[in-house]
Structure 1
Amino acid sequence: ANDTAITLGDMNGFFELNVYKPLIIYNLLRSLHLLADACVSFNDNCAVGIEPNLPLLKNHLEKSLMLVTALNPHIGYENAAKIAKKAHSENKTLRQAAIELGFVTNEQFDQWVNPQNMIR
Structure 2
Amino acid sequence: MLMSDERSAEESVVKLFGDPLRARIVRLLASEQMCTCHLIEETGARQPTISHHLKVLREAGLVEAEPQGRFTYYRLRPEAVAAVARDLDGLAARAERAQRVRRPCD
Normalised by the length of structure 2, the TM-score is 0.32
- Higher Cα radius of gyration: 1
User: As a proportion of its length, which structure holds more helix?
Assistant: 1
Normalised by the length of structure 1, the TM-score is 0.29
User: As a proportion of its length, which structure holds more strand?
Assistant: 2
